[in-house]
Amino acid sequence: MDSIERRKSVRKYRDNFIEAEKISEIIRILEEAETGPGGNYIKFEFIAENLSGEVKNVVTYGFLSGRYGAIAGWVSDEPYAIIDYGYILEKIALNLVDLDIGTCWLGGSFSKRNIIEAMEKDRSLNKSIPAILAVGYEGEGRRIRDFLISGTKRKRKDFDETFFTGNFEKIKENYKREILEGVRWAPSAMNKQPVRVIWDEHRVHFYLVDTSLKMRYLDMGIAMSHFELKAAANGIKGEWKIDEQATLTNWTYMYTYDISNIE
Ligand SMILES: Cc1cc2nc3c(=O)[nH]c(=O)nc-3n(C[C@H](O)[C@H](O)[C@H](O)COP(=O)(O)O)c2cc1C
């Protein structure tokens, strides 16, 4: 199983916090993080102190249990920058899966004021923290909240309801389905899965069905990072572009992955 298949939201953490050695590895991952497709560099920070002992100070609604830290950064408050935030931080989350560290995206359900106090100040240039990533060792058993949010089984929309060919037909090729299966299991706020994909020959167009919340742009960036990683694992390379000729739909067009090594 790869990190995309292993990843799931962890809301119950162990009481032993991540050791100093692993924290250094996490910090190294944060330092190595690249810019997003929109070219935004985001400085992500690991916040350990305030969260480990005083969880309630940070999580307003007490969704999580056990000891955990968080990763967060400041980003400009505009769609393509927020997409980059989702894209970069999800790649970080998937790297953490390989270190056996559990994560959970938290958007809006944490006390922003406390997070902000724990972080270096960078309130200049209209920046905000659109979400944070909780990080810690997964505890045994699941929280009741996990059942409330995802039921007894983790759920996703049907493949053919969200991914289409250029003619709005079902995608048949196995390798395309395998890659998009990685997008299907991407996390999204409230598990809304707002991303739609049209795979038109060498161009893979990404859309949002709903842009009423800023968090949807995070979902978009997250889905794009899953796509890129699964595509690379299947030998497919390309670049993210804004394509003026992208298929028009009722959805909001966001990005195209332009594949360079496919007929
Ligand atoms: C941008 C974003 C914000 C989220 N915010 C919360 C949150 O506030 N509280 C929470 O418990 N889960 C939150 N989640 C986790 C989703 O509920 C979860 O990803 C979704 O239900 C799918 O489950 P899975 O991650 O286990 O595959 C968030 C996820 C994303 C991507």
The CB of 130 under 6 Å from ligand 1? The reply is no
Q: Please state the domain extents for the chain.
A: 3-140, 159-259
The CB of 94 under 6 Å from ligand 1? The reply is no
Single pTM value for the model: 0.92
Q: Do domains 3-140 and 159-259 have the same CATH topology?
A: yes
* Residue identifier of the C-alpha nearest atom 5 of ligand 1: 106
Q: Region 60-79: what's the mean pLDDT?
A: 81
Residues 118/49, Cβ–Cβ less than 8 Å: yes
What is the pLDDT at residue 79? Answer: 97
The CB of 131 under 6 Å from ligand 1? The reply is yes
pLDDT at 56 over 90: no
The CB of 191 under 6 Å from ligand 1? The reply is yes
pLDDT at 58 over 80: no
Q: Which of 74, 77, 72 has its CA nearest to residue 89?
A: 72
pLDDT at 236 over 50: yes
State what percent of residues in the chain have pLDDT above 90: 68
Instruction: Dump pLDDT digits (tens) for 127-172.
Output: 888 899 999 999 987 655 555 555 556 799 999 999 999 999 999 9
Q: Region 26-43: what's the mean pLDDT?
A: 94
* Residue identifier of the C-alpha nearest atom 21 of ligand 1: 191
From the CA of 145, give the closest atom in ligand 1: 11
Architecture of the domain spanning 3-140:
3-Layer(aba) Sandwich (3.40)
- Helix H or strand E encompassing 103: strand 102-106
The CB of 40 under 6 Å from ligand 1? The reply is no
Q: Which of 153, 261, 249 has its CA nearest to residue 198?
A: 249
The CB of 65 under 6 Å from ligand 1? The reply is no
**d(C-alpha 62, C-alpha 48), whole Å:** 17
Q: Higher-confidence residue: 248 or 143? A: 248
- Mean pLDDT value across the chain: 87
For residue 232, is it left (φ>0), alpha (ψ between -120 and 50) or beta?
A: alpha
Residues 36/84, Cβ–Cβ less than 8 Å: yes
Instruction: Dump pLDDT digits (tens) for 101-137.
Output: 999 998 864 455 566 666 766 655 578 888 999 999 9
Q: Domain 159-259: which topology?
A: NADH Oxidase (3.40.109)
- Helix H or strand E encompassing 116: helix 112-118
What is the pLDDT at residue 1? Answer: 83
From the CA of 109, give the closest atom in ligand 1: 8
From the CA of 110, give the closest atom in ligand 1: 8
